[in-house]
Every structure is written in structure tokens, then in C-alpha cells.
Amino acid sequence: MRRRAGLAALALLLLLGSQAGRAEQAEGKAVPPGAVVVAVAKGSPLQRLTLEALRRAFLGLPVERDGVRVLPLVNRSDPLLYEIFLQKVVFLSARSYTRLLLSRTLRTGAPRPPEYTDVAALREALAARPGAVAVLWARDVHADPRLRVLQVLWSGEEAP
């Protein structure tokens, strides 16, 4: 319980230094390895997702951009990164997010976004699907030449 509270407090501190509600474009900028990013396959046609579209996709709603259906992949490999994802992307607690997805699945029959507890398996899934998106540490994206940063959610640097 203490560990979870500590993780939540650390995530909150990290988020307080970020820009509220806006995802930064990664084009033309060096992305620090500790940044939290939205990643896609190198050959993905996706060019940009608004935070609203990203949220809708992870909430299980259909989203189509740049001629492709967005397929959200939930990264559960790192508890801190998952907390950041919950706060920056879906704006829900873990319990509320799970409950909402379960309710939607029971009501509509739509499948829940796939969850990955292994970052290597997540990178494989991202590379194999052109419309797939996931929230990762930038260092995990930089380590795989099949992936690219679509946009930065949080970099820890102050905006000019």
C-alpha cells in the first residue's frame, strides 16, 4: 500500500511539471530518453493524434485518423508509466478505467484494448500493426528501429 502511494505521489510530481492537457509534437525535436511518448510503427501512416482522440481510443471508442483505425495497446510493464498513462491520457484511476472498459465490453461486446506486461512483446505488437499506438518511455522507442515517436506527452522540460 505504501509503495503504491509512493508511486502515485511520484507520478503526480512528474505530472505537475508538464504542460496541462497538450501533447507536444516530436518532429524536429530531440526527445529525452526519460520522456513519456506515444509510439507507433516506423511505417505507420499516423502523423498526429489529439489528446482527445488518443483518450477516446484508449477508452475503447472507434477512432480513425490518417486513413487508419487507431488500435490502442495498453502498456502495463511499468507501474509508474501506467499511472502517468492513467493521469495524462484517460484521466481516470486504475479502478475507474478497468470498470469503464468492462462496462463498455458488457454493453456493446467491443473488445478491451490489449494489455502488455512485457515491453518487448508490446514493441513487437506495435511494429506489426500500422494503426497501433502505445504509451512508452522514449528510451524504449529509441531502442527499437521499427518504432518512432508520434508525440511527446511529457518530457520534464519547461516549455519556453
pLDDT at 17: 38
Name the residue with higher pLDDT: 155 or 136: 136
DSSP secondary structure, 73-126, as one string: EEE-S-HHHHHHHIIIII-S-HHHHHHHHHHHHHHH-PPPPPEES-HHHHHHHH
The per-residue pLDDT of the chain, averaged, comes to 85
3-state SS class at 137: strand
Query: Does 40 have pLDDT greater than 60?
Result: yes
3-state SS class at 154: strand
Average pLDDT over residues 126-138: 96
pLDDT at 61: 93
3-state SS class at 58: helix
Just give the CATH number of 2-154: 3.40.190.10
pLDDT at 3: 53
**Predicted model pTM:** 0.80
3-state SS class at 24: strand
- Among 30-34, 51-55, 74-78, 126-130, the range scoring the smallest mean pLDDT is 30-34
Instruction: Please give the Cα distance from 130 to 147 (Å, whole number).
Output: 10
What b/e readout covers 84-105, taking b as 16+ CB neighbours within 10 angstroms? bbbbbbbebebeebeeebeebe
- Which residues have CB under 8 Å from 139's CB, separation 6+? 33, 34
Identify the band that residue 55 occupies on the pLDDT scale cut at 50, 70 and 90.
very high
Identify the band that residue 155 occupies on the pLDDT scale cut at 50, 70 and 90.
confident
- Which residues have CB under 8 Å from 107's CB, separation 6+? none
